[in-house]
Structure 1
Amino acid sequence: MNKQQLLFGLACVTYAVAAFVLFPRFNSNVLFGSVVLLAAGSWLYGRTIGLLLLLPTLTHQFLIYQHFANSYVYYTDRIAGTALLVTVVFIVGTQRNNLRAIQETTNWLDETVAKRNATLEKMTRRLIQRAEARRTAHGRDLHDSIGQQLTGIQLYATSLSEQLNADHNPGAAPAHSLTTRARTVHNNIRQTARLLFPVQLETIGLHSALDELEACIQTLRNTRISIKIEGDLASLPPNKALQIYRICQETALLITQECVPQTIDMALKHDSDRIDIQVAHDGPPLAGAIGDSLEAQLIKYRLNMLAGHIAGLPSQHWRSAFHFGIPLETEGHAT
């Protein structure tokens, strides 16, 4: 028996005794205590238990009237009191049962949503992992296949340009122009491949990959970007370092694509327990619809994997200056 049941039982016993003492003074009005207790029992235990409690309540009422039958006659009160008790049990007990049903349904919905969210998080993590693998494969293909072919074309064009120049052939100038264009295209392909597959991230570390990200953005998007780093990033786990790199990369690409700024300033601060990434640019703010784009959602998913958050921003709206907070004491939902 819990504390609630004990208090309810004591209240019933106290009322049953007190009703006989108070009845001569309050007459049938003392029976309203039965209504209160029966309503409380129906609310605490439901309609079925309330109907069971109705039996001792009616018995108690019958005993009171029988005990004082020589002095008082309350036939009308007996009928009205009984009807009131039954009505209270059905109304209060039904409301309690409905409330319990709603609570059970709510709990079931919460559990279902939690399971669906867990499934969604697993699917999202797998999609990000597969997207990362595909990016790496495309980056290697660009670097190893197309990049190698462009290297060969560049060598042939250089050789042709030198030969035509030695022979004082008028075609030396177009050949030299072809060599320059081949070199430019090769450099752009190499930069694009490094964006897809940051080699330095595996061999040298996150710091060097971010340095190269600066050069790639400036070359491919013609936007000056400055990435300042405070603290040691070499101690970060490879998976977490890759996600942080992708957050910086995708944020910079999203800003250059949608806002077309001239300058992007990014700062990474590594403390003992967190990493703060501050981003600012001189272009217009990102609109709310863009903030809900696939690119923005991907950044938010990566933050979720790191248990991070976008700090200091209204919901569904990115401004021209914002920052990400990523804790290091936990691995988030996934690493």
Structure 2
Amino acid sequence: MLREAKDLKVISRRKPNDPERRVDQYRIVFERYPHPAWVLDRATLRFLAVNDAAVSKYLYSRDEFLRMSYLDIHLPEDASTVQRSLINGQPNSPGIGLWRHKKKSGDLFDVEAAWIPVPFDRVPAILLTADSTHRSLRRLLQETESGRERLEALSRRLVDIQETERSEIARELHDEVGQLLTGLKLMLSADEREPQPGLAGSRREQMLQIVNELMDRTRNISMDLRPPMLDQLGLLSALVWHFERFTEQTRIRVSFSHVGADSRFPRPVETAAFRLIQEALTNAARYAGAEVVEVEVQADSKFLKLRVEDRGSGFDQEAARAGRSAGLTGMEERAHLLGGHLTIESSPALGTRLLAELPLRSTAPGVIP
């Protein structure tokens, strides 16, 4: 557990415009942890940070906590025992104690306190939780570690996506657009050096053809980055366009059904739904070997529900999880960031089914573009 908590930064007090600021998974887990949790100065046991659950349960405000010591929520006769356990014991080791805590109202109750050393703004500190159940700190650290791993996998996925898109754009510009522009330049230079009136009409047609191809290539690059109809016309129109393009490129037919998807949805929801379906179809084309993929979109007043299913080769989910598949992690995180959830069901030779549910009124912090 020490290794897992070593990099714990419960609350990073960086300025909002700090260029190094990033999503701090540990801070989020700490603040959302359902049981009281604090960060204490290891030398003085003064409160350095407190989560919402502690404020709610103990009835002290956050500012009041930050002016207090951990010993202030103990009875005076227990203070020396608590102090010995936290300061005079093994300061670099985690511990558990069965103690009595005191609310602001004076009410007493028994808790299991669990603690572990952590760094806090370069100050030796203690992360301490109070819970009536066992292994509360272990659960917190497991959630934190799981969140960290998911964040790392998502970061790798975003970098991979960015580099792949850049490579594709560079290839298109060099191999397609660049060659067409070179051919057009050579034709114009040849006419300038050696005008041939008899070939003027033919060369003009060739140059117009090259210009049309350039426009098509440029339009395709733009569509691959973000189809404009997703913003202009909405999810349904963008999906229909994508299915036609997908079938033309892969020869895989998409069987599409929808209920309640004719209206517009919040932009982050439309983006997430489109990308999830797009990724699922890409995976089906690469790995499934299926001739048909079923896509279903249903919407009601609360949720947008997606289903993408094929009868292809499937895959071993446990092996994919063990390998920390960046694609699967990215899809799960995309749904999670909206406050939704995503499940993937698959077995070798039995096909794959993706199910996603996205809330239409999400309070989640953001979405992957």
Q: TM-score, normalised by structure 1?
A: 0.50
Q: Which has the higher contact order (CA 8 A, sep 6+)?
A: 2
Greater share of helix: 1
- Point out the structure with max Rg over C-alpha: 1
